[in-house]
């Protein structure tokens, strides 16, 4: 199976991410950040669901990573039965990645949630994910399977919005009660 897609679209905001202290922040990766991280990394692994017990390959074997004008793009070829089955059942929900030693710029966000812009970092892995919703909505997975003469290609995009987000971006009619519901939904305290 060939799996291709964007791990992250640079310059684009994440969903609200828990800060571990009862609050949330919005994160974005600055253009060029992945390029710097990959240049320093001797090898970047590809995992399933961030599990180090489920290594699917690496940049030294079957994984190609590159940052282009859109973001971090990944291309991997795998015969892993669990990944192939998840792709066929359209259960690949997107990509994720680790952030180590981040260099960041923090700012107050328009909606009261702080914004963290990552300008540099180290990275050890990217993950195909099946069991969680991606923090970044701009992640895409295109899977191509070949079985004899039959070929199937399909694309999966992370959900661009939830019903609760409707009106969230509308600054004219902005209502803090919808933000409060989103924060509470994800376990935060308001």
Signed CA dihedral, 40, 42, 48, 51: sign only: negative
pLDDT in tens, 29-85: 999 999 999 999 999 999 999 999 999 999 999 999 999 999 999 999 999 999 999
d(CA 81, CA 83): 6
Query: In this prediction, what percent of the chain has a pLDDT beyond 90?
Result: 57
Q: Rounded to a whole number, what is the distance in angstroms from the first to the last CA of the chain?
A: 45
Across 120-143, average pLDDT: 90
Q: Is the pTM of this model over 0.85?
A: no
Here the tokens at position 39 are: 């240049």
| pLDDT value, residue 29 | 97
Task: Name the band, by pLDDT with cuts 50, 70 and 90, for residue 177.
Answer: low
């Amino acid at each position: 199976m060939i799996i291709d897609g964007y791990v992250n679209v640079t310059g684009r905001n994440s969903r609200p991410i828990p800060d571990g202290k009862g609050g949330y922040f919005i994160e974005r990766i600055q253009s060029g950040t992945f390029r710097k991280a990959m240049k320093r990394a001797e090898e970047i692994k590809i995992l399933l669901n961030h599990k180090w017990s489920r290594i699917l390959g690496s940049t030294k074997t079957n994984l190609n990573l590159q940052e282009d004008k859109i973001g971090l793009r990944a291309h991997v070829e795998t015969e892993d039965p669990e990944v192939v089955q998840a792709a066929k059942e359209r259960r690949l929900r997107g990509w994720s990645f680790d952030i180590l030693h981040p260099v960041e710029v923090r700012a107050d966000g328009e909606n009261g949630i702080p914004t963290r812009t990552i300008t540099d970092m180290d990275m050890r892995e990217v993950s195909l994910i099946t069991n969680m919703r991606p923090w970044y909505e701009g992640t895409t997975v295109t899977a191509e399977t070949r079985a004899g003469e039959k070929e199937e290609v399909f694309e999966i995009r992370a959900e661009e919005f939830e019903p609760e987000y409707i009106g969230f971006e509308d600054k004219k009619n902005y209502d803090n009660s919808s933000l409060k519901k989103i924060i509470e939904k994800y376990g935060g305290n308001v």
